[in-house]
Amino acid sequence: MPRRTITNEAGIRRIEGILYHDAWVVYICIKCKSVNYVHIGQKLLTPKDAFDSCVWKCEHCGYIHSKESELPFENWEDTYLEGESTPVLRFWEGFFRTSVENEESYWKQCNVCGRILPFNAFSKHSGWGPLKRQMECRSCKGAINAILNPKRSKEQLYESSIRRRIADLFVDDENEGIDFQDLFKRFDAKCFKTKIQLDINNRSSWAVDHILPSKYLYSMKIENAALLCKEANSNKRDRWPSKFYTNNELIELAKITGADLNLISQKEPVVNKHINVNKGVERYLQVRETSDLEKRISEIRKILQVYDLTENLSEDNKKLLGFL
């Protein structure tokens, strides 16, 4: 399914129209020694296919690279340069084999800087196109990450972990056990995002995604569970579904799981306020004698305000936490 068009939050825009999943072949013209780029698409060639059918014309001198072509080498005897002679055919077999013999032989185009670069210039991304590589090259990825992932302070990291812990306390009673056999059956034993086949017995290769993240106080239930490979799940993290899945994927996801399409397609996160806030508060304030109660009260107050949940508190808890 096509990936939706988004504006990069880093302010580094992707170039429209680049077929970022497609493979390319890059070769040196054997006559003029110029570099040539051949667009292959998403179906990789075998060495035999390339040898039998490829006709690559040099963009600079017009020389045709094909098993039918005579070789232009001045240092070879003339009898060895004629088309369809054994040395010529063996040469062309080797030429095409080294160009397409495996994934690492191919190149792809970065959809940020626009350069066509070797396979290894892109980081791995399972299930993305025939080369299973990311859309942007490592150089562009580094620039994007430098903007999106600045070093976070200890205070920011601590606050993030506190928010996750409190969110988990709010929804703990509502989490349901997930039947993995049923999950695999409903998703046809494939990662919903990448469509790669998954093995239920290889637990390290797959994960159950909270479609609506627990960060926004949604529990794990059958209608909120999607099957993803570990890499896709890592990319999803706690992102709101419409920030990760395409429109077509959201529709399909709702059909498979019974999720509320109107909710998961919202452009901005919606906090779940249909939870037992008071029970979460009580759990969080159950501290050991030596714990810092004042700090816990400050933490839970901040989270309740961020999530706009203060009105869900009982009168007693509003007084307890200083909201009255």
Neighbours of 211 (CB within 10 A): 27
Query: Which pLDDT score is estimated for 152?
Result: 52
Strand partners, 65: 56
Contact 88, 72 (CB under 8 A): no
Q: What is the mean pLDDT of residues 281-288?
A: 78
| CA 292/CA 301 separation, integer angstroms | 15
Type of residue numbered 272? N
Residue 154 has pLDDT above 70, yes or no: no
Reported pTM: 0.51
Q: Which residues contact 181 (CB under 8 A, 6 or more apart)?
A: 200
Both structure tokens of 17: 């129209």
Q: Which of 220, 217, 236, 240 has its CA nearest to residue 228?
A: 236
Residue 294 has pLDDT above 70, yes or no: yes
Residue 199 has pLDDT above 70, yes or no: yes
SS3 state at 225 = strand
Both structure tokens of 211: 């479609």
Domain spans in the chain, listed from the N-terminal domain onward: 23-145, 154-264, 277-320
CB crowding 4-37: b at 16 or more within 10 Å, else e: eeeeeeeeeebeeebebbbbbbebebbbeeeebe
- Compute the mean pLDDT over every residue in the chain, rounded to the nearest whole number: 86
Strand partners, 107: 24, 118
| CA 165/CA 287 separation, integer angstroms | 14
Torsion of CA 208, 214, 215, 218, to 10 degrees: 140
Both structure tokens of 308: 């706009």
Q: Which residues contact 33 (CB under 8 A, 6 or more apart)?
A: none
Q: Which of 274, 249, 138, 258 has its CA nearest to residue 193?
A: 249
* Tens digit of each residue's pLDDT (9 = 90 or more) over 101-125: 988 999 999 999 999 999 989 988 7
| CA 218/CA 27 separation, integer angstroms | 52
- What does the longest C-alpha to C-alpha distance in the chain come to? 99
Neighbours of 131 (CB within 10 A): 21
Query: Using CB atoms within 10 A of its CB, is residue 154 exposed (0-12), middle (13-18) or buried (19+)?
Result: exposed
Q: What is the mean pLDDT of residues 70-76?
A: 90
Q: What is the mean pLDDT of residues 155-176?
A: 67
* Tens digit of each residue's pLDDT (9 = 90 or more) over 264-275: 999 998 988 888
Residue 149 has pLDDT above 70, yes or no: no
**If pLDDT is split at 50, 70 and 90, which confidence band does 133 have?**
confident
